[in-house]
Chain A
Amino acid sequence: MSEARNVWVFIEQGDGQVADVSLELLSKACELAQHLGSQVWALLCGYQVEGLVETVIQHGADHVLLADHPELEVYRTLPYCRVAVGLVKQHQPYIFLIGASPVGRDLAPRIASAVRVGLTADCTDLQIGDFLYKKENTLYKDLLYQIRPAFGGNIIATIVNPKTRPQMASVREGVMRRRTPDPSRQGTVEAVRPGFQPQDFALQVLSHEMRPPTVRLKDAPVIVAGGAGVDGPGEFELIQDLANLLGGEVGASRAAVDAGLVSREHQVGQTGLTVRPRLYIAAGISGAVQHRAGMDKSNKIIAINTDPTAPIFQVAHYKIVGDLAEVLPLLIKTLREKAK
């Protein structure tokens, strides 16, 4: 086992930019590495991506492993996995963090399986702490606590990987806070040469079209969100109207998305986006922990629900016990009068 206890971050990139989630993870990795007295290493794969090294260092990497190769231009599971698994086996990092994006969710389990290590998906917090493994009566010091809401959302589970290294965790975009880059930060770069095998090219990407997000939930100053209590598209329009009036975006709980009221891009919560707006209005959202995990750090929260015992009220600054079909039009009307 390596003594270095380094914290690695997989750097996702596209269109000449490092993904936000990777920069957020670099910030978190810095915290963890500081705690461990170790370094942050970034694994940057792609083609002609040397230009991103500077950004990665400024955001917290001490050392960048740069796999720059034409076969890595477009993300494909097997070539990326070949590179990552080889380097992980060679250097034995202590912790390996990756964004829970479509790329990360495709790649991370594959790496974890190949290296035979544990992986925890969609963590909402990461900490360093000790673990007494009762079965063996052994104390493991300085493990990565991988914290996430679990089954049904009433519990928060802390998961550890006592024996396998690296300790792998994926985290969604927006969950960790990104620090301001430090232009004076210094780091080293090491070019690595991928050793591909013919079977790594079993899959070919014929075309790849990503559109820019139409919803900018993460940066919205105000979010008006609807949940299971919203009765159909007609009522959901009230959410949209109020959001427009406040210059905000529409959010939703998973229930509203599953009911087809709004697209998944609007989903706030553990498996959606984590947001911290100036004002969050939760209408007809009961407030399961997965949803609260994505919004409870909002500056001010207004909750509207017919059920006075709904858990959402416990994180709300303003409680409105009432029917959203009456309360939302009142809010809209009052704001319109105010604007005149």
Chain B
Amino acid sequence: MPYHSIVLVKQVPDTRSVSGDVITPDGTMNRSALPAIFNPEDLNALEMALQVKDQHGGTVTVLTMGPLQAAEVLRQALYRGADRVVLLSDRKFAGADTQATSYTLKCAVEKLGAFDLVFCGRQAIDGDTAQVGPQTAEKLGLPQITYAEAILSLEQDEIVVRRAFDLGIELVKCKLPCLLTVVGSANQPRPPSARKRIAYKLACVPAEYPRLLQQWPDLGDEASLDALLVQQGLKIPVWNAADLPVNEAELGLSGSPTQVYKVNYVVLEGTESKDISPTPEGIRALIEELVEEYIVG
């Protein structure tokens, strides 16, 4: 029996590639030096949803909330086999903590219509909170399976999932619909397909029309491009607050119970430190000192 899946994904700055030049001389972070990427565990979530589609049929819809540039992760999802993508973008969504984010996602999921499974990555690498998945599940009134590593069976309205933690595993059986948060060890996400890359190379949001027209001038003007993309199903829909049945007070910064009181740049306390030369003499002296102080030995 076919299953309809929704995958919630996020575009994140690649905090794993933080290197020397990302840090400015005054110790702050140069965000623009970090590439924006598909949150790694969200790719695992997408892969799990695509495998469900491969095995059982059905559809995969990918949803993201973010600035217009986040259309890039939606294209990446289309290249891998998503059937439908939607971008949630509005200034009113900005500054959201996990509570306001999960509220917005919940409203969008409800607008998408009937579904059997919701997938998201366990956590995003820019915040590591792992809160949006469970909070979206709660707001949708769905059971949640966090730390999902594998779907062991999927029959009728029942799923059996292996959950994986650092120190163990758990097998659970759950009624559908439900929400899974997927861990990185779940699978090896498939690469974008070359065929789909070509098929979806024009997929974009209206904000990207100027860029497309610059690249392919023979596409005409924005109006003709829009008509073409709509006709070919390549126009990525952008939903704003007005498109959703939302209570605006629960969106974005104003809908966020947590507030950042202050941000301190890390001032490292100068620990009194000794320079040790990386030579046999230097190392011997160091070890003698440590032995004397009963640190080693």
Contacts and interface: CB of A to CB of B under 8 A. Distances in A.
A108 B99 CA distance: 12
A333 B171 CA distance: 48
Contacts, number: 234
Nearest to B278: A322
Nearest to B272: A317
Interface string A195-225: 0000100111111111111000000001000
Contacts of A160: 258-259, 261
Contacts of B29: 151-152, 154-155
B135 A113 contact: yes
B169 interface: yes
Contacts of A222: 296
B173 A211 contact: no
Contacts of A72: none
Contacts of B228: none
B99 A153 contact: no
Interface stretch (A23-31, A62-70, A117-125, A174-182): A117-125
Q: For the side of the interface on A, what is the size category?
A: 35 or more
A112 B138 CA distance: 9
Interface string A89-133: 000000000000010011011101110111111100000000101
A315 B138 CA distance: 42
B16 A110 contact: no
Interface of A: 77-78, 81, 102, 105-106, 108-110, 112-114, 116-122, 131, 133, 145-146, 150-164, 199, 202-213, 222, 246, 255, 258, 263-265, 271, 278-279, 288-289, 299-302, 304, 307, 311, 313-323, 326-327, 330-331, 334-335, 338
30 contacts: A110-B137, A113-B102, A117-B99, A117-B257, A118-B97, A121-B131, A122-B128, A122-B129, A151-B15, A151-B29, A151-B126, A154-B266, A155-B265, A156-B263, A159-B260, A163-B257, A164-B257, A202-B174, A210-B167, A212-B167, A213-B167, A278-B295, A279-B295, A311-B268, A314-B269, A318-B286, A322-B278, A326-B278, A330-B278, A334-B283
